[in-house]
Each structure stands twice: as structure tokens, then as C-alpha cells.
Structure 1
Amino acid sequence: MAYALQQLINGITLGMIYGLIAVGYTMVYGIIGMINFAHGDVFMVGAFIGIIVLTALSGITSVPLGLLAALILSAALCGLYGFSIERVAYRPLRGSFRLAPLISAIGMSIVLENYVQTSQGALERAIPNLIPGGITLMEQNGFVVQLTWMQMAIVVVTLVVLAVFTYIVTKTPLGRSMRAVEQDAKMAALLGIDTNRTISYTFIIGSALAAVAGVMFLLYYGVIDFYIGFEAGIKAFTAAVLGGIGSLPGAVLGGLLIGLIEAFWSGYATVAYKDAAVYSILAIVLMFMPTGLLSRNEVEKV
């Protein structure tokens, strides 16, 4: 019981990180019907910006202020990366055949990977645990279940960011524009909505969410390299598909499920096969629910 509870805590923490990345995937797909395969590498860039900021501010300011600065700078700079990806890799190819933007996004992914590898080196970068300690929840047969301050911080920050994002989408003029473009871009343009600007904002917000996830990943594991974006990106994309691509709550639900599957498989089976377990369960779910767990009914435009 105690071990299962610990794995549940670990899985929820990891799932929150995947959910943040998956929201960016599903936002872009919902708006323009395409997958941004450079999104995982934006997550990786966010983690590296975070470690650069935290290293630069080490000993200069307090840990909370350093973490806040890392989150803000990482989100802002990765938002610029997202804007650049949309302008360079997607906008010029928006009217072409559907494989062209996909190939372009993969090219941007390779560019970002190699850029970070060249500028930061191919070796792993590490930071110490900045938020040590935690709360002991229970002890059973010598096994201690602990909820660390780091895990609580990751969950709280993730929930706050998702709440702000939900408010933007549901209550602001930008959110209404995003939903209008998602339903019918041509009609939205006829009604006076600047579709290009709305799509750019979508990439910026999605990239900022990925940057926050990158900083959370850095704080949780303490070690990053230039290749983490590929694996995390694929899993977040899997989470978006599992939850129902195009559904924002589905992206978060899919992220949580992926995190829980990884945690429990690693705890009770072979760690080496945790990724195989994730993709196998995805395949099984899609056999019975081809559009995902929380997919929305598509409205046919005539």
C-alpha cells in the first residue's frame, strides 16, 4: 500500500509535466490541424534556459526569486522561439500539401537540437536539489512515503499555469479569437479576426507552457541534456493523442495517465520496458476509442 501510494505521487508529478507539454501540441493541432514536432525541443530549450538562469543567479538572490526569474525568462524566450517557428516553418507552407509543414517542423527540431548541443555541449548539465525536504505521509514495514516540497511545488505551479491558460482561452478576446479560428478560420477572417496573429499567439502560448514544463523537469530530475526534448516530446504527443487530440482537458488527462503508467510500470515491472508499456496501452486504447478518451465530436463544415 505504501509503495503504491509513493508511485502514485511520483506518477502524478511526472504526469503534470507531460500534460503541460501536451497542451501545446493539442493547441496547435486545434487551430491549424497540424502537429508541431519541434514542440518537444522548445521544452528542451526551456530547460536549458532555466539552468542557465539558475546558475547565473546562484548565490546572488534567494531560491524562490531565482526560480521565478527562471520561469519568467524561460517562458518569454521560448515564446519567441514558438513565434519564430510559426513564422519560418508553418506560415509560408500553410497552403501547401500537408506533409510540407511536417517536414519543416522536423527540420526545426533538428536545428534546435544541434544549436543547443553546439552552444551548451553534448554532456549532461546538472543542478543540486533547490527545494529539499518534504512531508512524511506514512510508514509501512520500513518504507517511508514522502511528498517532497519539490513535488508539491511542481503540482502547484502547473495547476496555476493551467488555470491562467484556461482563463485566457475561455474569458478573454484572444481566447474567443482562438476558438473562432479553431472552428472556421475563413469565417473568422471574414468577421474581422486577424487569423495570422491569432495563430502566432497560439504558438507563443504553447511554447511558453512547454518552457514552464522544461523548468519543472529540470528541478524534478536535476539533470538534462540536449536530447531530452525528443523523448519528452514523443510522450507528450502520445498523451495528447491518448486524451483526444484537440481537447485541452484530454491533453492534461493523457499526460497524467502517461505519468502514472510510467511510475507504476517502473515500480512493479522492468524499468527498461516502461516506454513499451506506454505505447502498448496507447495502441489498446485507440483500438476501442480511435479518437482518444475525451475527443470532441467533429463538426462537418459544408
Structure 2
Amino acid sequence: MKRFFRSINVRELLRPIGQMIVFSVGSAVVLSLIALLLALILNNTAVGENAMQKFGASLFTYTLVNLPQVLIDGLTIGFVYAAIALGYTMVYGVLEFINFAHSEIFAAGAFVSIEILIALAAKGILADASLGMAYTYLILAILAGMLASGILAVVVERVAYRPLRGSPSRLVPLISAIGVSFLLQDVIRLVEGLTTGQFNRIFPTFGNFDERLLFGKAALGATTINMGISIKSLIVILAAVLMLVGLNYLVNVTKIGKAIRAVAQDRPTASLMGIDVNRIISLTFLVGGLLGGAAGGLYALKFTRIDPFVGFFPGLKAFTAAVMGGIGNLTGALLGGIVLGMLETFAGSYMGVFTMGTAGTEYKDIFAFLILILVLIFRPQGLMGENVSQKA
């Protein structure tokens, strides 16, 4: 046992945690300052007067009071995007092509997790479960979703990508990935339609996941706002942190990680050194699928309602996060996910107030795709662009 603990590289465990803290705090500070500055500028305009009439407080006060909750929500969805983005990053780092089917692998994990819990709820098991068993069932459901997504990712690689790996055109596997994405969407819809007759699935209510841990109150005019974080948001953040730390350790410390980096750097040389390239590529898809499946289960827990197309927008945003951070770079995927989640939540929370209802929450997705366009134009390699073969 002592030998086992001595073999653990503590530095590689702590490094990604430090990066998460830096990225989270940095994003929070920058976006908070921008929001407060805008509120200060608009405070004495018609926008500020509208806020005073609507909330009984100045626009600056409204922005400041809601800031802690906005930051928590942004961090939660940001970690989900980061977890999904890691799947894109792993595959691109090794094969240098975008696995657009990853969004449906994420969706498969969400559906497997939620269907298991729905089946348990239908038998009355969840209603009678103690708090400890409720968490056990949740963990088992997410693990099942991870397993299903991991297997699906390996099958997709074997069937749709491996035969095309030697193609002279890089467009061929890309087109195949897009085709597989649409195919999996319809397969999920067909399976759900035949087995349940329903396309929209709702996460069952059990345990204490919907409860909130309050850490403060703030007065906004005549209204008192309770600030806190829900149990399920806390679970999402903690689970995502564990996944990110685990993947960083796998890639940077273990023998498997060294083999992945070797294949990413130079496939022919890695093969000459005795590394089974096909096995490592399949393993890369497996790891990406496991992460995607876990992210799917966490997404279902957080947002409660899913449908066969649930993977499309989160997958596209996670791809944006990966590109923004530098696709092929694990640290970049983390940075991109956190920044994008924060930005999206800030836009959704304040855009309606700052525009007096002209542009509301429904326009928050504009920012994600605007960032994608700007990054591709001005810095196509991303903010931290480097290959996964280098230490992330």
C-alpha cells in the first residue's frame, strides 16, 4: 500500500486543480468586471430607469446582487462543456480529425443513465431509497451510461473511421463522422420510440439532488434573493473535476498515456517501438466515450429533460470550447469550457435586462458561435494551441 501511494505523482494531481482554479477565477473576474462596467455605464440611461421600475433597485445593484448565482451556474455548465470537449480533444490529438459523432455518444450516455433511473423509479425502488442508496443508484446509472458510451465510441471507430484512416483526403473521415452523427441521432430516436413510445425523457425526482445549500441572502428592492448552489450542481462540478484530474493523470503519468502521446506525435515511429497503434487509437476513443457518457449523465441530472437531439447543441458548444482553447490540448479544452460556460450564463442572465427585453435568454447561443468564428479567423490554433502529444 505504501509503495502504491509513493508511486502517485502528486504534482500531476494538483496541477490541473490549480489550472481549474486559475481559469475559473480569471474568467469570473473578467466577465464580472465587464458586466459591472456595462451596468455602471447604462445605470443613468433608459435601461437603468427600466431596471429601477422593474426591480426596485438600480441596474448596477441588480447586476451585483445576482453575480454570485450567475458565477455558480456558469461554472457548472462550463465544467460540463469541458468534460465533453475533452472527447473531441483526445481524438483530434491522436488522429487529427474531428469526431462529430461525439455529441451523439454524449447523448447515448445521457439516455442510458436516465432510462436506468426511470426503470428503478417505475418499480418504486427510488422512492423507498435512503439518501446513501439514492447516491449509489445515481453513480451506478452514470457508470452504466459511461460504459455504453465507451463501447459505442469504440464501435464507431472500428466501423466508420478505421477503414478510412488511410484515405488520401482528410475530408473522407470528416464526412463519415457527420454521417455517423446523424445516424446515431435517428438510432436513439428509433430505440426510444420503439421501447418507450416517448422521445422526451425526464430525470426522476429522488434523493436530495434538488435541494439547495444556501450561503447568503441579498435584498433587491422589496425582494430577498436566496443565494446558493443546488446539490446536483455541486455533484456536477465535483464529478467534472475528478474526470479532468483523472484524464490529466492518465495522459501525463501512466504508461498508457505515454503510448497515447507517442502515437499522437509520430504513429510510424510509435509502431516501430512496439506500440500497437490500432489498440491505442481504440483506447483513445474508449476514454473519450467514457468521458462523454459521464458528461451525458451529469447533463441529464442538471437539466432533467432530454430528447434524442440533446447532444447537438451541447456537443457543438463543447467543440467550440475545444477550438477556442486549442483543440488537441487538454488544458485548452478545460479553459475553453469554463470560459464558454461563464460567458453563456452571463449573457443569458443579463442580456434581457441590458437590452430591456429586446434580446433575451434565447440569444445566448449567439456568443458561443461568434467566439467560434472569431477564433477560427484570428487564432485558428486556439488560445493554448499545442498537440496532446506534448504535456497538457
Match status 1:280 vs 2:370: yes
Which of 325, 332, 342 lines up with 1:250 in the alignment? 332
In structure 2, the residue matched to 1:207 is 289
C-alpha distance in 2 between matches for 1:63 and 1:267: 32
2:199 paired residue number: 123
Deviates more, 1:102-111 or 1:243-252: 102-111
Residue number in structure 1 paired with 2:33 = none
Aligned-partner Cα distance in 1 for 2:374–2:100: 24
Contact 1:19–1:251 under 8 Å retained in 2: yes
Q: Could you list the per-position Cα deviations for residues 163-185 of structure 1 after superposition, in whole angstroms to 9, with x for gaps in the alignment?
A: 22222112211111000001111
For structure 1, the residue ranges without an aligned partner over 5 or more in a row are: none
Alpha-carbon deviation of 1:284?
Answer: 3.3
Task: Give the drift of 1:289.
Answer: 2.9
Confirm whether residue 4 of structure 1 aligns to residue 63 of structure 2. no
Listed as ranges, the matches of 1:105-144 within 5 Å are 105-121=177-193, 123-130=199-206, 131-141=209-219, 142-144=224-226
Deviations 1:196-231 (A, max 9, x none): 000000000001100000000000010000011111
Q: Secondary structure at the match of 2:210?
A: coil
- Give the deviation of 1:123 after TM superposition: 2.9
Structure 1 runs, 4 residues or longer, greater than 6 Å off: none
Contact 1:2-1:138 at 8 Å conserved across structures = no
Please name the residue that 1:86 is paired with: 157
Q: 1:201 to 1:155 in 2, by over 3 A?
A: same
Q: Identify unmatched segments of 5+ residues in structure 2.
A: 1-63, 352-359
The separation in 1 between residues aligned to 2:205 and 2:218, in whole angstroms, is 26
Match of 1:100 in 2: 172
Larger Rg: 2
Cα deviation for residue 40 of structure 1 reads 0.1
- Give the aligned partner of residue 68 of structure 1: 139
After TM superposition, give the deviation of residue 285 of structure 1 in Å.
4.2
CA distance in 2, matches of 1:5, 1:147: 10
1:28 to 86, 91, 106: 91
Distance (whole Å) between structure 2 residues aligned to residue 285 and residue 119 of structure 1: 38
CA contact (8 A) 1:132 1:148 kept: yes
Count of residue pairs the alignment pairs up = 299
Select the residue among 209, 220, 233 that pairs with 2:315. 233
Measured after TM superposition, the shift of residue 76 of structure 1 is 1.0
CA deviation after TM superposition for structure 1 residue 18, in Å: 0.6
Q: Which amino acid aligns with 1:76?
A: L
Instruction: Provide the rounded CA distance (Å) in 1 between the counterparts of 2:179 and 2:328.
Output: 24
Q: Would you say 1:42 and 2:135 are equivalent positions?
A: no
- What SS does structure 2 have at the residue aligned with 1:227? coil
Relative to the length of structure 1, the TM-score reads: 0.95
Cα deviation for residue 129 of structure 1 reads 4.2
SS of match in other structure, 1:196: helix
Contact 2:93 2:388 in 1 (8 A): no
Deviates more, 1:20-29 or 1:250-259: 250-259
Match of 2:54 in 1: none
| CA RMSD of superposed structures (Å) | 1.6
Residue 361 of structure 2 corresponds to: 271
Specify the SS of the correspondent of 1:147. strand
Contact persistence 1:7–1:264 (CA under 8 A): yes
Q: Decide whether the 8 Å contact of 1:129 with 1:219 is kept in 2.
A: no
Give the Å deviation of 1:298.
10
Aligned pair in 2 of structure 1 residues 57, 192: CA closer, same or farther (>3 Å)? same
Output the TM-score relative to the length of structure 2: 0.74
SS in 2 for 1:228: coil
Higher RCO, 1 vs 2 (CA within 8 Å, ≥6 residues apart): 1
Instruction: Report deviation, 1:297.
Output: 7.3
1:37, 1:281 → 2: CA distance? 19
**Counterpart secondary structure, 2:364:** helix
Taking the aligned partners of 1:193 and 1:283, their CA distance within structure 2 comes to 38
Q: Deviations over 1:9-36 (max 9, x none)?
A: 0010001111011000011000010110
